[in-house]
A and B are shown apart, each in its own frame.
Chain A
């Protein structure tokens, strides 16, 4: 599959994109518990969670962080990324089974690096649920190739 990739020079400061939504299912949470080994009752014990402030099981924060990373690849033409180097992130509200999350991302900084063939792109990312509440928010730093 030949796919266009966007180089550092083709990415504009301030540009924004929004992803399609994705409904977080019970299956996603069960699979993620199996993959990560994180069986915290928050994610796996329906009866215990009925008594909690959440009232039901909630998705792993890192599951939704991983999902938004996948949503980003569906929101924008892929960057010519050489490396993902930094992540500053806040988990602001729970995501429950059946919630639909989507990503809004904005390029907030572009910097040249010591090596002339690459630059650093910082994206601000906001993950929203179906009620437009912010569930996660943060910044990611990517090293992106420059066009030769």
Chain B
């Protein structure tokens, strides 16, 4: 499969994603999926930028990590994003830890708006595939 295996993940590597403008349509779709009650504010629901940042990770030039599972996150909402704002993500690999067949990768990520201000920030932990040993 095309993608970056655990062995090829480089600690301290920084990746900047392309940007996406968050629209009314995103908010409407999000509220449709979650059935959260709209609060009538122009603010974007706080979990929506987090969802969009995962998709942006697929639009970078480097093949994405072969993620077998999203293990967890530790996340801070710094300020609200508003409809019409344009966000992108900046991420850095903090650490990696090999297990027998897989590996854990911790990534630090910030969601940044069009003014360069951090909107949300935190750490993601992923379980990433190792290359299959070729049996001789």
Contacts and interface: CB of A to CB of B under 8 A. Distances in A.
Interface in B35-72: 35-37, 45-48, 50-52, 54-59, 67-72
B135 interface: no
Given A36-B52, A37-B55, A37-B59, A31 B70 contact: no
A61 interface: yes
B77 A86 contact: yes
Interface stretch (A7-15, A64-72, A103-111): A64-72
Interface string A22-53: 10000010011011111111100000000000
A78 B37 CA distance: 10
B77 A83 contact: yes
Interface stretch (A88-96, A113-121, A122-130): A88-96
B35 A38 contact: no
Nearest to A65: B47
B136 interface: no
A67 B50 CA distance: 14
A69 B36 CA distance: 7
Interface size on B, as a range, is 35 or more
Interface residues of A, number: 36
A87 interface: yes
Nearest to A31: B33
A78 B55 CA distance: 30
A75 interface: no
A31 B34 CA distance: 11
Given A37-B58, A62-B54, A83-B80, A31 B37 contact: no
A63 interface: yes
B74 interface: yes
Given A35-B51, A37-B52, A91 B37 contact: no
B33 A38 contact: no
A73 interface: yes
A2 interface: no
Most buried by A among B32, B68, B72: B72
Contact of A91 (B54, B58, B71): B71
Interface of B: 1, 26, 29-30, 32-37, 45-48, 50-52, 54-59, 67-77, 80, 122
Given A67-B34, A69-B45, 15 more contacts: A31-B32, A32-B33, A35-B26, A36-B51, A38-B51, A40-B67, A60-B51, A60-B54, A62-B47, A62-B70, A66-B51, A69-B36, A83-B77, A84-B46, A88-B74
